[in-house]
Each structure stands twice: as C-alpha cells, then as structure tokens.
Amino acid sequence: MSLANAKQSQLLCKLARLLSGNLLNSEDKQYIIEILNTPLDDPYRITNTVLAKVLRQEGFDISSRTIDRHKNQECTCYRKVNK
Ligand SMILES: [Zn+2]
C-alpha cells in the first residue's frame, strides 16, 4: 500500500480517507484492505458492491464505483500531483 505515503489527505479519495482516518478501528480497516487486495479470481472474494453496501449500512458514503476506482488506481489517490 502506497497510501501511507500520500502527502496531503485531501488528495485521497473517500475510501482512502476512510482507511487513513479514525472513524474505523484498525481491525475494520485491515479487513477492508484485505478485501481490496483479494485477487479477482478468488471464489470467496467479497465484491466491491457488497463492501460498499456494508459501508453504507455503517453510515459511510462510499459507492462501489469509489471502491472500483481506488482498486483500479483511477481515483484521486493515484493522480499525479506534480505536472
Ligand atoms: Zn483512492
């Protein structure tokens, strides 16, 4: 995970902010990180849709699209800061 190296938290997407903030305990964060790192071909994989649904039930405004973008490194976390 390169997120810890992110210099400015406002450049992180909602998912990364959730993972770097203190709204979740470290156990929950670890669980989410494990889900994000699970290979797509793992039959027991929890899908982004399910993860997003659970997070929304917990009161977090995270969509499966947000998770998709973070997983695919298309979110603000991975956007080049220096041009
Ligand atoms: Zn992100």
- Judge whether 77 and 3 are in contact, CB under 8 Å: yes
Length of the chain: 83
CA of 44 to the centre of ligand 1 (A): 23
CA of 42 to the centre of ligand 1 (A): 22
Place of tokens 């997407």: 13
What are the residue boundaries of the structural domains of the chain, listed by start?
A: 8-78
Tell me the C-alpha distance between 11 and 19, whole Å: 13
CA of 74 to the centre of ligand 1 (A): 7
Q: What are phi and psi for residue 33, nearest 5 degrees?
A: -60, -40
pLDDT at 6: 47
CA of 79 to the centre of ligand 1 (A): 9
Query: The whole model's pTM is what?
Result: 0.78
CA of 32 to the centre of ligand 1 (A): 13
Tens digits of residue pLDDT in 46-75: 999 999 999 999 999 999 999 999 999 999
pLDDT at 11: 85
